C-alpha cells in the first residue's frame, strides 16, 4: 500500500494552519502574528536536565492561579493555548460522531484541531457587529460537545457582550462545554470570565503567555476550568508537556515583577494602537477601522489599493483576512513599536498619493 493509502483520509484532506513562520515573506516589520515586537530578557536558572520535568510544574501552576484569582486545581498548563484547544477535543469529542461549534470570522485552530481528530466542524457565522447569533447557535447544538468563542475575537478585535455569553452558558448548560478563548484578555482584563467558573461547571477559559506576556517563542498556555474538567484534561495531556527551561521562564514571567512588566507593555501597545487607529482612519485607501480591545487592528481597504502586496514588497508583513467570511479586503495589523506603526502609515500614505496621481492622469 502507498503512504497515502495508509494515511487517514481526514489527514490527507487537511489544510494545515498557516502559522507565523510558515507564511513566509521577507520582512523587517513583522505585524502578522500578534507577537510583541521586542524580545523580553530572562536568565535560565541551573536545573537538573538529566531528570524528567513535572507534568504540571507547581511553581507555574501556583503563580498562574494567583494571577487569575483561582485555585491551583482550576489551572492546567500546556504547550501554548493551542494545545489546550486540542486537549478539549481529545477529552470531549468522539471522532466521527460529535461536533464542535464556532463562529467565523474567528481564530483558525478550532477548525484545524477538530479536522485532525475527524470531529465535525459546525459553524454559525457571527452577526454583522460580530456578536453571537444566539438563535442560530440554539438551533445548531445537536451533537455539539464544545462551543468555542473568542473574546476579544481574533481577527476582529471585539469583545463578546457579557449578556450574550451568559445567554450562551444558559443555553448550553447540561448539553455542551463553552470554551472562552481569552488569549488577548490582558488588553481588557475587566472582561475576563474567570469569576464565572463558580456558576458554570461547563465553562472553560483559554489563556496564553504568547501575547501580552511577549513569550510566543516559549510555547506556554493555560486552561482554566473547574477541577473535574482539569482532571479529565490531565488524562489526555502528554506526560511532559513543558520542558524545564520553559517552566523556569514561565515562572519568572508570572512573578510580581514579570506581571508589572507585562502591564507596562500592555499600556504602551494600547497607546500605539490608538495612534495607529487614528492614523489609519485618515488614509484614503482605508475604508474602515474596526474598534479593538487587543494588540491588533482590523481594517478594510479600498479593493484596488493593493495594500497587502505593496507593504509585503516593502518588508512590512501584515495578515490578509480576505478569505474569512465577511472580511473581504480586510487586513489585520499587529500593533508593533511606534516606529513600526509609523512605517505602516508612511507606506499607506504613499499608496494614497500614487492613487491620486493616477486619478489625475485619467482622461477627462
Ligand atoms: C495566539 C492565539 C492562540 C494561541 O496561543 P499559543 O499559546 O501561542 O498557542 C489561541 N487563541 C487565539 C485567539 C490566539 O490569537
Over the stretch 90-109, which tens digit does the pLDDT of each residue have? 999 999 999 999 999 999 99
Ligand 1 centre and the CA of 128: distance in Å?
Answer: 24
Looking at residue 364, what is its pLDDT?
45
**pLDDT greater than 80 at residue 205:** yes
Instruction: Identify which of 46, 143, 161 has the alpha carbon closest to the alpha carbon of residue 99.
Output: 143
pLDDT category at 78 given cuts 50, 70, 90 is very high
pTM above 0.85, yes or no: yes
Q: What is the 3-state secondary structure (H, E, C) of 109-175?
A: HHHHHHHHCCCEEEECCCCCCCCCCHHHHHHCCCCEEEEEEECCCCCCCCCCCHHHHHHHHHHHCCC
pLDDT(297) > 50: yes
Rounded distance from Cα 77 to ligand 1 centre (Å): 14
CA of 216, closest atom in ligand 1: 8
Residue whose CB lies within 8 A of the most ligand 1 atoms, among 110, 210, 219, 241, for a mutation test: 210
84 lines ligand 1 (CB under 6 A): no
- Cβ neighbours of 322 (radius 10 Å): 13
- 3-34+258-356 fold: 3.90.1150
216 lines ligand 1 (CB under 6 A): yes
DSSP states of 262-327: HHHHHHHHHHHHHHHHHHHHT-TTEEEE---SSSEEEEEE-TTS-HHHHHHHTTEE-EE-TTSTT-
State the Cα–Cα distance between residues 61 and 73, nearest whole angstrom.
9
Ligand 1 geometric centre to CA of 356 (Å): 40
**Assigned fold of 58-255:** 3.40.640
Mutate to test the pocket of ligand 1, among 17, 89, 154, 220 (most ligand atoms within 8 A of CB): 154
pLDDT band at 16 (very low <50, low <70, confident <90, very high): confident
Dist CA 363 CA 63 (whole Å):
67
For the chain, the domains span 3-34+258-356, 58-255
- Percent of the chain having pLDDT more than 70? 98
3-state secondary structure of 206: strand
Three cell numbers written together for 346: 508612511
Question: How high is the mean pLDDT of the chain?
Answer: 95
Amino acid at each position: 500500500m502507498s503512504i497515502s493509502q495508509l494515511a487517514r483520509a481526514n489527514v490527507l484532506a487537511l489544510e494545515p494552519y498557516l502559522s507565523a513562520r510558515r507564511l513566509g515573506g521577507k520582512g523587517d516589520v513583522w505585524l502578522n502574528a500578534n507577537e510583541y515586537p521586542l524580545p523580553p530578557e530572562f536568565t535560565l536558572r541551573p536545573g537538573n536536565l538529566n531528570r524528567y520535568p513535572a507534568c504540571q510544574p507547581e511553581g507555574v501552576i501556583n503563580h498562574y492561579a494567583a494571577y487569575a484569582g483561582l485555585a491551583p486545581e482550576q489551572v492546567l498548563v500546556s504547550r501554548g493555548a493551542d494545545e489546550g484547544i486540542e486537549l478539549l477535543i481529545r477529552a470531549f469529542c468522539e471522532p466521527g460522531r460529535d461536533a464542535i461549534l464556532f463562529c467565523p470570522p474567528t481564530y483558525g485552530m478550532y477548525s484545524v484541531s477538530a479536522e485532525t481528530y475527524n470531529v465535525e466542524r459546525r459553524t454559525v457565522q457571527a452577526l454583522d457587529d460580530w456578536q453571537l447569533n444566539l438563535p442560530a447557535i440554539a438551533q445548531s447544538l445537536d451533537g455539539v460537545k464544545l462551543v468555542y468563542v473568542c473574546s476579544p475575537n481574533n481577527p476582529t478585535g471585539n469583545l463578546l457582550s457579557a449578556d450574550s455569553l451568559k445567554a450562551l452558558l444558559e443555553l448550553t448548560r447540561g448539553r455542551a462545554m463553552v470554551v472562552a478563548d481569552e488569549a488577548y484578555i490582558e488588553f481588557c482584563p475587566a472582561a475576563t470570565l474567570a469569576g464565572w467558573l463558580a456558576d458554570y461547571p461547563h465553562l472553560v477559559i483559554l489563556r496564553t503567555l504568547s501575547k501580552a506576556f511577549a513569550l510566543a517563542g516559549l510555547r506556554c498556555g493555560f486552561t482554566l476550568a473547574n477541577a473535574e474538567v482539569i482532571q479529565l484534561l490531565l488524562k489526555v495531556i502528554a506526560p511532559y508537556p513543558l520542558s524545564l527551561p520553559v517552566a523556569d521562564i514561565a515562572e519568572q514571567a508570572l512573578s510580581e515583577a514579570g506581571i508589572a512588566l507585562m502591564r507596562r507593555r500592555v499600556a504602551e501597545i494600547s497607546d500605539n494602537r490608538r495612534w495607529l487607529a487614528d492614523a489609519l482612519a485618515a488614509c484614503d485607501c482605508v475604508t474602515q477601522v474596526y474598534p479593538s480591545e487587543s494588540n491588533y487592528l482590523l481594517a478594510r481597504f479600498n479593493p484596488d489599493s493593493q495594500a497587502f502586496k505593496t507593504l509585503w514588497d516593502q518588508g512590512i508583513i501584515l495578515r490578509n483576512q480576505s478569505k474569512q467570511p465577511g472580511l473581504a479586503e480586510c487586513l489585520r495589523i499587529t500593533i508593533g513599536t511606534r516606529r513600526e506603526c509609523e512605517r505602516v502609515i508612511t507606506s499607506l500614505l504613499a499608496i494614497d498619493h500614487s492613487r491620486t496621481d493616477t486619478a489625475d492622469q485619467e482622461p477627462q
